[in-house]
Amino acid sequence: MSAGARLERVRLRELGKRFGRTQALRSLSLELRAGELTVLLGPNGSGKSTLLALLATLLAPDKGTLDYDGQTQREFARQGRSRIGYVSQEGMLYDDLSGLENLRFFAELHGAPRSRVGLLAERVGLGEAAVRPVRGYSRGMRQRLAIARALLPEPELVLLDEPFTGLDPLAMQELERLLGELRAAGCLVVLSTHGLELSPALCDRVCVLVQGRLRAARAPRPGESLSALYQAELGGTP
């Protein structure tokens, strides 16, 4: 990857990750491309969060490799972490600060323009809650703020772990629109979800994981919902 070049693809080859006696990922190979949205489906413990943390360079694989346009994971972690927008299930927010104060802090940390703070607070619909301490936020409001925080540095690789959790129907629609905008802007987007309401038209690839193995990776067929795809590949619900 040359200096100033946008991230075009990430290749995962035979990835394996173990936590003690638990094998979280097993020989997982996949190619992810800019301008595409990949959805991870699977039961609890299937490896979705582990895969996202590996892509975010927060964990290192025990086996296999990640290739970011020719850079190793370690090289990309040194040079490209500011190009990653990551929303974990923990949210990574400071409860004693207001929503705006959180965003201002992370903007300074990432060298993002202060102008993006107000822009993103409005874009995710924080409203009057933006000036209140985060400890009083609902689960949905915390999720909105975490998404805004992740997008501050205008990332090229966007990783979202259960981003729809706690969101009301209107906020879910807004997040879908935002995902469409990120995809259209050429971002490489990967998200995990247990909800199957996401529009299949947004999904370039759906990956079904079971016990750390990639069971299927394909685009939804015309007229096929995520629920139908999941049942076709695995049966049941994630």
Taking 80 as the threshold, does the pLDDT of residue 141 lie above it?
yes
Q: Regarding predicted confidence, which is higher, 97 or 79?
A: 97
pLDDT of residue 92: 85
Taking 70 as the threshold, does the pLDDT of residue 2 lie above it?
no
Mean pLDDT of the chain: 92
pLDDT of residue 162: 92
Q: What percent of the chain has pLDDT over 90?
A: 79
167: enclosing H helix or E strand: none
Beta strands of 69-120 (E only): which ranges?
Answer: 71-72, 84-87
d(CA 100, CA 135): 13
pLDDT of residue 73: 94
Taking 60 as the threshold, does the pLDDT of residue 3 lie above it?
no
The answer to whether 32 and 38 are in contact (CB under 8 A) is yes
pLDDT tens column, 148-194: 999 999 999 999 999 998 888 888 999 999 999 999 999 999 999 98
The answer to whether 82 and 111 are in contact (CB under 8 A) is yes
Across the range 3-23, mean pLDDT stands at 91
What domains can be seen in the chain, in order of their start residue? Answer: 9-94+155-233 (3.40.50.300)
Cβ atoms < 10 Å from Cβ of 133: 15
pLDDT tens column, 194-238: 888 889 999 999 999 999 999 999 999 999 999 999 999 886 555
What are 77-80's contacts with CB under 8 Å, separation 24+?
A: 80/1, 80/7, 80/157
| Residue 212: strand pairing partners | none
d(CA 95, CA 132): 10
pLDDT of residue 106: 93
Confidence of residue 109 (pLDDT cuts 50, 70, 90): confident
pLDDT of residue 4: 60
Q: What percent of the chain has pLDDT over 70?
A: 96
d(CA 112, CA 45): 35
State the number of CA atoms in the 13 A half-sphere of 200 facing the CB: 16
pTM for this prediction:
0.93
Which of 8-22, 23-37, 71-85 has the least mean pLDDT? 71-85
Helix axes 99-110, 115-123, angle to 10 degrees: 130
pLDDT of residue 238: 54
